[in-house]
Amino acid sequence: MSDEDDPKWDQFLSTGEFSDFTIVCGDSEWKVHRVILCAQSQYFRVICKECYREGTSRRLELKEEDPDVIQAVLSFLYTDDYETDVIGDSQDANGRDTGEEEEIHNGSTLSTTETETNEEPPKVGAEQATVHAYAALVNRHVQIYACADRFCISHLKNLAAERFQEQLSLLLGHLEDSRDKGKVLAAIIPEVYQTTPSTDRQLRDILAEKIAEAIPGLLAEGNDEIASVFTGVGRCAWDVLVRFKDELHALRERCDKQAKGISETNREFKQLERSLKRCEDKKEQIMRMLRSKNSCVFCGKIFGATVEGSERIILRCKGCGR
């Protein structure tokens, strides 16, 4: 079957053709297909049953969800992928007006500049509004992750977590000012800790690791934003401390292992030294014994010994050479 013959499931989402269920969120409405939703989500598999009001009416109203997030979730259910494009304020990363809309697709880039030219994305400047806009870009993956958790779509959670980590790493890597990093993290921390349960460690562990990596610079700059967030979200500060403890424990184990290896190497070296000393003593003993002999058993002349080579001892009579 050629690619042209492959079914384009997203066209059924966009056209609503053969739809048997409706999802409403804010001013947006989607004509969807229960077989697509129920095959991938335990949440939809339950509410689509006729014993529930939604199953009878074939209609679900999501009053507390973000329509853009629901669009991403539905796109994933139909295509195994989703796109985000939260940066659209007609400014580049340094806050300058470009007249163009910046997007991020499939969690892979910070701007269309890198996609089209393969050059590094522009450095993020110190303007607070722009920094917070990029934090909102990363937070979109947090929101999709949380929504996937509510709808019991585990493979979407994994994808959103992967893109969250990629985007956070990319953004922090291109921020030169530690104060900007502090502003970004201060905007992301509450989103992660307020939208995920304490038992769900996936995003929290990723975030704690990135904060631990950035902490030296953050402390050097005296970031008030981070200090304020840590005060309000004590669990995050605790997770960062646990991360440091784990890293310290791993470092101590590596040091102990190296020290043990060095100790074993020294012990083996001393054993080799003792073995070499015994070989030298044995060689000298043999030489003294041979020199004490009066005559060779073959030629009858006075026997002498010579040492040939450096790796083995060859004993020969000086008279007959045997």
Which pLDDT does position 107 carry in this prediction?
A: 41
Model pLDDT, residue 247: 64
d(CA 321, CA 275): 31
Angle among Cα 126, 234, 150 to the nearest 5 degrees reads 90
* Whole-number pLDDT of residue 38: 94
Beta strands in the chain (DSSP E): 21-25, 28-32, 59-61
Complete edge-to-edge strand list for the sheet that includes strand 21-25: 28-32, 21-25, 59-61
Q: For residue 14, what pLDDT is reported?
A: 81
Residue recorded with tokens 């989607």: 30
Beta strands in 33-164 (DSSP E): 59-61
CA dihedral 76, 78, 80, 81 (to 10 degrees): -50
pLDDT of residue 228: 67
Task: Pull the structure tokens for residue 117.
Answer: 């030219």
β-pair type (21-25, 59-61): parallel
Q: Are 68 and 144 contacting, i.e. CB atoms less than 8 angstroms apart?
A: no
> In this structure, are residues 297 and 315 in contact, taking their beta carbons and an 8 Å threshold?
no
For residue 258, the surrounding DSSP H or E stretch is: helix 234-291
| HSE of 211, CA atoms in CB hemisphere, 13 A | 29
Sequential pLDDT tens for the chain (322 residues): 445 555 677 788 888 788 899 999 999 999 999 999 999 999 999 999 988 899 899 999 999 999 999 999 999 999 999 988 543 333 343 334 444 444 444 443 444 334 343 444 444 444 555 777 888 899 999 999 999 999 999 999 999 999 999 999 888 888 877 778 888 888 898 899 989 998 999 999 999 888 888 777 776 655 566 666 666 666 676 677 666 666 666 667 777 677 777 877 888 888 888 888 877 777 777 666 656 655 666 676 665 555 554 555 556 666 676 6
Domains of the chain: 3-239 (3.30.710.10), 292-322 (no CATH)
Separation of alpha carbons 33 and 310, rounded Å: 86
**In angstroms, rounded to a whole number, what is the distance separating the alpha carbons of residues 177 and 217?**
9
The whole-model pTM stands at: 0.64
pLDDT at 93: 39
